[in-house]
Amino acid sequence: MSEAQTIDAPAATPFERIGGLDVLREITQRFYDLMEQDPAYAELRAMHAPDLTEMRRALPLFLAGWSGGPRTWWEENPGKCMMSAHGGFRIDQRTGAQWAEAMRRAIADTPVPDREIGDAMADVLDRMARGMARD
Ligand code: HEM
C-alpha cells in the first residue's frame, strides 16, 4: 500500500467496529432485560419508568452518536446534555455501579465483531456511570 493510500484510508469509528446500530440495539435490549430480570439491579430499575420501551429505543441512538455514528439522538434532542439530564435523578455509588455492571454484562453477552472495542466501550461507560454518582 502506498503512503498516500495509508493517509487517505479513514480509520474505522468505534461505531463501525462495534457492528453499528443493530449491535448497539442488541446490547441495549440485553442491558434492559438484565435490569428488569436480575434482582441485583432492583434499585436501578426502580428509578426508571415502569415501561422501558422508550429507553430501549433511545439508548442505542445515544450510543450510536456517542461512538461516532449517526447523530439521531442529538437531532431529536437539540441542546440536551445527557449528563445534565441525569441531574434530577438521585444517582449514588450503588446505582451508578449497577448501571456500569449491567452494561458490562450486556456487552459481554452480545457477540460483538470486535471484542477489543467492546471491552473499551464497557470501560468508558463504566467510568461515566460511576462518575454520575453524587454520594
Ligand atoms: C454512561 C452512563 C449512562 C448513559 C449513557 C445513559 C443514557 C441515558 C439516556 C440516553 C436516557 C434517555 C434520555 C433521553 O433520551 O431523553 C437516560 C435516561 C435515564 N437514565 Fe441514564 N444513562 C447513564 C447512566 C445512568 C445511571 C448511572 C443512572 C442511574 C443510576 C441512570 C438513570 C436514568 C434514568 C432514571 C433515566 C430516565 C428513564 C425513564 O424515564 O424511564 N442513567 N439515560
Residue of 27, 54, 86 with the most ligand 1 atoms within 8 Å of its CB, for mutation: 86
Stretch 55-63: mean pLDDT, rounded? 98
**pLDDT tens-digit readout, 86-106:** 999 999 999 999 999 999 999
Q: Taking 60 as the threshold, does the pLDDT of residue 2 lie above it? A: no
Stretch 8-37: mean pLDDT, rounded? 96
Q: Is the CB of 133 under 6 A from ligand 1?
A: no
Rg (C-alpha) for the chain, rounded Å, is 16
CB neighbour list of residue 126: distance below 8 Å, 6 or more residues apart: 100, 103, 104
Residue of 41, 95, 99 with the most ligand 1 atoms within 8 Å of its CB, for mutation: 99
Percent of the chain with pLDDT over 90: 87
Q: Supply the pTM of this predicted model.
A: 0.91
pLDDT of residue 6: 65
Q: Tell me the residue type at 48.
A: H
Give me the domains of the chain, ranges plus CATH numbers.
15-131 (1.10.490.10)
